[in-house]
Chains A and B, each alone.
Chain A
Amino acid sequence: MSVAIKILGTGCPKCQSMTQVVKEVVAEKQIDAQIEKVEDIEEIMKYNVLSTPAMVVNDTIKIKGRVPSKDEVLALLS
């Protein structure tokens, strides 16, 4: 089953490096996932996060306010 990943962030360096980390993990481990970058602030606020970047996996917020390591992302996706 495909995993739906959303990355919430208005486009700051931290948000970009989170996107980078997630993309790398998905590519390296050949995970069946759809990655969506959400930059619209009104859209982001629906998730009730206070600090970006945030990583949403299948509509659950998993990480907020920091850039995760590759291992962390892998653990969250598998």
Chain B
Amino acid sequence: MFEWVQHLADWLVYQALNLNPNQHLAAALNFFIYDTIKIIILLVLVIFLMGVVNSYFPIDKVKNYLSRKKLYGSEYLMASLFGVVTPFCSCSSVPLFIGFVKGGIPLGVTFSFLITSPLVNEVAIGLFVGLFGLKTTLIYILSGVLLGTLSGAILQSLKLESYLSPWVKELLSNAQREQDIFQSEDQSLKNRLPIIWAEVRKVLGGILPYVIFGIAIGGLMHGYIPEGLFERYMNKENLFAVPIATLVAIPMYSNASGILPVVQVLVSKGIPLGTAIAFMMGVVGLSLPEAMLLKKVMTVKLIAIFFGVVTLCIILSGYLFNLLL
């Protein structure tokens, strides 16, 4: 599908600029041009597709569905799957959390949604397909869903309701399986498309600088760092590599767009994919700004438990990835 992009990059670098393929600079530049074009195309496609899905699949319906249906344990999985298709901006996490609590949805199920949603988002999916191919993308989505499901179930079993902020506890005691009357925006696809398209342009515009910066760093590393350099320190035999990568990642607040092109090069230079993905999930899934937001609804102790369980699950999935791939 993207052979023509490679031809274009080759032509630009080796013919138009007349660079020698054996030069570091040529390799870096070729990588940069190819990756940038390919990733932008994929991002537009995936963000647009998810925009359409999201436009017809609003969060209120998710909440109603989860609070209405008896799901016999599969609700964690459902919440986690919903988390994949409904992107929300991180400042919505508190209203969402409250809304779910008020709707009588168990705390653990709410966590399942909250964990998967930032971890597996449309931007990351677009980048994953472009950088690692379909198979790895599927494994990434699957492990994100598994992570959300598992963490949610664990958190539920810990019975954490008493660690919520007082005003949230009060909401919890008044919670009822109410169904909000949902007024869907009655618009045809034709009317929605301009809105969705505007959203695609806005999202893309917002992340493009990070993506290009990330690819540029990746290109430089690709061209100049010898292969196997990281392999000596971060190989599969080093049992500490996954936890270290995860713990280093959490304080780094970034989104998937900036970090993934770098991760790709780390992988090509010898870091096992599982370790690299654990690193990426640590960066994307947990962050200090998110913790600050959550302080409005949870005690510090609950946030610590929440982060702890998720960290543990990320580390486990890192090991799992390394075993599988």
Contact = CB atoms under 8 A, between A and B. Distances in A.
B89 A12 contact: yes
B296 A41 contact: yes
B186 interface: no
Interface string A37-74: 00001101100111110000000000001110100000
Contact of B94 (A13, A14, A15, A41): A41
Interface residues of B, number: 27
A49 to B, nearest CB: 6
B18 to A, nearest CB: 43
A48 B60 CA distance: 10
A22 B98 CA distance: 26
B12 to A, nearest CB: 35
A51 B94 contact: no
A14 B89 contact: yes
Interface residues of A, number: 20
Given A44-B95, A45-B95, A10 B195 contact: no
A52 B98 CA distance: 12
Contacts of B180: 48
A48 to B, nearest CB: 6
Given A42-B167, A65-B59, A66-B199, A50 B91 contact: no
B59 A10 contact: no
A41 B91 contact: no
B92 A50 contact: yes
Nearest to B167: A42
Given A10-B293, A50-B99, A65 B58 contact: yes
Interface of B: 58-60, 63, 88-92, 94-96, 98-100, 102, 167, 171, 180, 194-195, 198-199, 202, 293, 296-297
10 contacts: A10-B293, A42-B167, A45-B99, A48-B102, A48-B180, A49-B95, A50-B99, A50-B100, A65-B58, A65-B92
Interface of A: 9-15, 41-42, 44-45, 48-52, 65-67, 69
